[in-house]
Amino acid sequence: MRVISGSAKNKSLLVPEKGTRPLTDRIKMSLFDLLQPYLKDAAVLDLFAGSGGFGIESLSRGAKTVAFVDSSEVSTSLILQNLQNTGFELNGTIHLQDAGSFLSGNRESFDIIFLDPPYQSDEIERVLPYIGEYDILKDDGCVLVEHFSKLALPDHIQKIKQIKNYKYGDTMLTLYRKEA
């Protein structure tokens, strides 16, 4: 896996041997085409961060900070190595904890929140309501969820509203924005 654009373009990223599903270059390009208007100096939250590829790509493209959250020690160790390899170690904070615990205890707000939990889990349904409940999404921010295309997500969750779906084979990206 590698960074595909920005200041760290073509830098290699370490990935866990198993248990994660790194973004393909095709999906990553589409995803960041959607997010580009929101990235400059953004505060980003990468939930279920895995190797940190989404957050590091965000930093490479102009995000200011990224909070990486993952419950795996292997993943958080790889995220640290990837941040050091790309020169972004001062722009990232790594949280070794469950996504729900992080959200319920967090007091920061974010411009972009990305969720990419394991496809066969109920983590999306469990975690999405926290984003609205704890009001951690900035007013002009967005939430992007990567999930299995056969999983239908709700139109409204607390204070966030589904805007659009983008399908790539078995992968779906669902975009949410905060309601006015």
What tens digit of pLDDT does each residue of 74-85 get?
A: 999 999 999 999
Which DSSP string do the residues of 108-152 spell out, in sequence order? --EEEEEE---TTSSHHHHHHHHHHHTT-EEEEEEEEEEEETTPP
Q: Which CATH class name applies to 25-178?
A: alpha beta
pLDDT, position 18: 66
Residue type at position 63: A
Beta carbons of 26 and 168 less than 8 angstroms apart: yes
Residues of the chain with confidence (pLDDT) below 50:
none
The residue behind tokens 């790309």 is: 86
Q: 96-112: b or e for each residue (b if 16 or more CB lie within 10 Å)?
A: eebbbebbeebeeebbb
d(CA 62, CA 60): 6
Establish how many alpha carbons lie within 13 A of residue 73's alpha carbon, considering only the half-sphere containing its beta carbon: 0
Model-level pTM?
A: 0.94
pLDDT, position 22: 66
Q: For residue range 29-56, what is the model confidence (pLDDT) as tens digits?
A: 888 988 988 899 999 999 999 999 999 9
Q: Is 35 helix (H, G, I), strand (E, B) or coil?
A: helix
pLDDT, position 173: 92
Query: Can you read off the two tokens belonging to residue 176?
Result: 């949410």
